[in-house]
Structures are given as structure tokens and as C-alpha cells.
Structure 1
Amino acid sequence: MIGNTQKAQSPAATGLSANENTSTSILDQKRETTLMARFAIKGAAVHRLADGGFIVAQWGLTRHCADFAALVGFARQMGVI
């Protein structure tokens, strides 16, 4: 029984190689999470939108960022990074 569980969780069982299973999506997710945490340290909340954009809120003011690149640009303006 244990062997079947391990097999179902392995990358080969899903038809993906180990590199395809972990490479860009996990790294992108980590970059996004890290940037959101840096905004939080500066007192701003970042919310992900259903369309893929972001809303940054601080002191009752908000800023829409259409994508991650725009969020990074705004982070530079705010001194977050």
C-alpha cells in the first residue's frame, strides 16, 4: 500500500520529469511570496486578483498593478526592494 502512494506522488507517475514538475512555477511563487512579505514589512498589503493582477493597499490608498513586473516596479518606487 505504501509503495502505491509513493508511486502516485512521484513526478514520473504524473508524466512529468523532475525538472518540469518543480522549476519555474515554484520559483515564481517564491519570488511573489517574498515580495508580498517585503511589502508587509513596509506596512502595505498586497492582494492577488483573479485576473492575475495585484492590488497594493496602505493607509487607505490602493494601487493596481496589472502583473508581477508592475508590482516589482511599484516595489522599487516604494523602497520595498
Structure 2
Amino acid sequence: MVVKEFVIAETPNPALLRWQETRDAATFAADMTGFFVAAFGPSLFGGSEPLHDLFASRLEAAIARTPDEIARPLVTATLRIARR
């Protein structure tokens, strides 16, 4: 396999935009936690709801305590790969 193209681009982040407008840490924390858990939860927690809930509650609390530390634009990486 060979990488033919690699592009990193800023991705729209409605949670960040709302945070910049309102500075509501609780809402920002809930938004970011929801995004992360929806995107990565199934592969991280499988069917374990207790693990899912524990992680989500701790992540949300951590973000709410220090939202400025993670209030950054999201980026995506697009790869185009080919067989040799």
C-alpha cells in the first residue's frame, strides 16, 4: 500500500462555535462528550453500558472544569491509498 494523498482539514464544529458565543462550560462539555461517545463509544465500550456511562460522566466533568483546554477546532485527515 502507498499513500497517494493525505489532506488534513479543519472540520466544522458547532459545539466550539456555541462555546465561543456563550462560554457555557456545561453545555460545551455535554456537546463534546456526546460527539466523542457517538463517534468512538461502540468500539471502546462494546455493549458495556456501565463502562460507557462512567466514561461519559467523567469526560463531561473534566471538560466542564477546564473547557478552554480542549476548545480547539476539529480536524479530519483524508487518506487516499493504493495498492502497489
Q: Tell me whether the two structures share a fold, i.e. TM-score over 0.5.
A: no
Q: Which has the larger radius of gyration?
A: 1
TM-score, with structure 2 as normaliser:
0.28
Q: Which has the higher contact order (CA 8 A, sep 6+)?
A: 2
**So what's the TM-score if we normalise by structure 1?**
0.29
